[in-house]
Amino acid sequence: MFEVIGWDEISRVLPTLDLVGAIEEGFVAYSQGNAHVAPVSELRIPHGELHIKSGYISGDSSFVVKAACGFYGNPAKGLPSSNGLMLLFDSETGVPTCLLLDEGRLTDIRTAVAGVIAAKFLAPDPIFAIGIIGTGTQARLQAQYLLKAKRANRLFVYGRNAHAVAVYQRDMSREAVEVIACNTPAAVAANANLLVTTTPSRSPLLNFDDIAPGTHITAVGADSPVKNELDPAILHKANRIVVDSLQQCSAHGELKHALAVGSIPPERIVELGDVIAARKQGRISGTDITVADLTGVAVQDIEIARAVFAAVKAMRT
């Protein structure tokens, strides 16, 4: 029977789920060749963009198609910048089994969870402060999820809009952390050793000279070929680059822009799934500069959609 599940039910089961564990399994399956992921389909229109991702993990009873929109002028209209839905299909018959009307929030959450996973394996110890570039939905979720997993006393933030920064400071201060606004991305990097870039920028916001030894950077904004938050020199000089998908990041992520200006020794680029499975090393020393280039892989959508669907079915019975 085809089921439709709205955000009310989804939000009730989310706190019961081990999303970090589930999504780690998805990354491992991908890097070990047990996942089948279609190329990303991207539609750009005057006021926004649509991304379609789909995939199947060998042996699963279902496969997933996800549509996610980004309309970055929406906050000025009182609307969220992202929206979307997820569809589950029976992998034996191709029959649709479930529509998750998640309003794009599961995409936002699984991206934040991936940021936690990247920090788990790559962030320095200790983390003396977290730095966030951006003030939107992902800037909030990345900080919230990181603060739950890796407690820091201070959070530095940069945003282009002073009002948005002030609102971010007010809201994030509720997370029992001191929130300090910075005038430039470089100032954020000067004060934090775990940085997360979360914007749709099309030109670099951080330069290599901004980055201190021992810093980890998680870049989540560049999910299309035209977006770019990091100076390519950061990747060229980083000790380790960890990508969610080598194929996808080479075409869509920060890695794409770095490779466009010169080659990078292949041994310095590894997939996150291989780091999780201990097949490859992530951070090696306390002074390493590490980068996680996260473009969003369909296995994340598969894992979160399956977990939500199963939990809602159990709750309904």
Whether pTM exceeds 0.85: yes
What is residue 194's predicted lDDT score, i.e. its pLDDT? 98
For residue 87, name the pLDDT band (cuts at 50, 70, 90): very high
Question: What's the confidence (pLDDT) of residue 176?
Answer: 84
150 and 208 together in one domain? yes
Please state, in angstroms and rounded to a whole number, the distance separating the CA atoms of residues 184 and 246: 30
Q: Each residue of 181-199: pLDDT tens digit?
A: 999 999 999 999 999 999 9
Q: Is the pLDDT of residue 6 over 90?
A: yes
pLDDT greater than 90 at residue 82: no
53, 66, 227, 256: the active-site residue: 66
pLDDT bin (cut points 50, 70, 90) of residue 230 is: very high
Average pLDDT over residues 207-219: 97
Q: What is the pLDDT of residue 72?
A: 83
Shared domain for 131 and 233, answered yes or no, is yes
Same domain for 86 and 132, yes or no, is: no
156, 284: one domain: yes
Mean local confidence (pLDDT), 81-89: 94
Residue 152 has pLDDT above 90, yes or no: no
Residue 81 has pLDDT above 90, yes or no: no
Contact 291, 219 (CB under 8 A): yes
What length does the chain have?
A: 317
The CA distance from 96 to 230, in Å, is 40
Write out the residue range of the structural domain in which residue 129 sits. 112-296
188 contacts 156 by C-beta, under 8 angstroms? yes
Average pLDDT over residues 204-229: 95
> Could you tell me if 7 and 34 lie in one domain?
yes
Helix (H) / strand (E) containing 12: helix 7-13
Q: Which of 169, 114, 174 is nearest to 146 (CA)?
A: 114
**Claim to verify: residue 260 and residue 206 sit in the same structural domain:** yes
Sheet with 216-219, side-by-side order of all strands? 178-181, 154-158, 130-133, 194-197, 216-219, 290-293, 240-243, 269-271
Local confidence band at 78 (pLDDT 50, 70, 90 cut-offs): confident
Q: CATH number of the domain at 271, please.
A: 3.40.50.720
pLDDT digits (tens, 9 = 90+) for 31-45: 999 999 999 998 999
Tell me how many domains the chain contains: 2
Question: Is 53 a residue of the active site?
Answer: no
Higher pLDDT: 75 or 281? It is 281
Q: How confident is the model at residue 251 (pLDDT cuts 50, 70, 90)?
A: very high
Q: Are residues 200 and 277 in the same domain?
A: yes
Query: In terms of DSSP H, where are the helices of 182-278?
Result: 185-191, 232-237, 246-252, 254-260, 272-276
User: Is the CB of residue 190 less than 8 Å from the CB of residue 128?
Assistant: no
Assigned token pair, 8: 């009310």
256: nearest Cα among 279, 239, 232:
232
**What's phi and psi for 215, nearest 5 deg?**
-80, 145
176 in the same domain as 280: yes
Residue 150 has pLDDT above 80, yes or no: no
C-beta atoms surrounding 259 within 10 Å: 18
Let me know whether 82 and 189 are in one domain: no
Same domain, 99 and 132: no
pLDDT given for residue 130 in this prediction: 97
Confidence of residue 149 (pLDDT cuts 50, 70, 90): confident
Please check whether residues 8 and 61 belong to one and the same domain: yes
Interval 129-147 mean pLDDT: 96
> Over the chain, what is the mean pLDDT?
95
Give me the mean pLDDT over the 286-296 stretch.
Answer: 97
Pairing state between β 130-133 and 194-197 = parallel
- Nearest partner of 300 among 228, 259, 248, judged by Cα: 248
CATH number (domain holding residue 31):
3.30.1780.10
Q: Which residue has the tokens 């009002």?
A: 163
Are 147 and 279 in a shared domain? yes
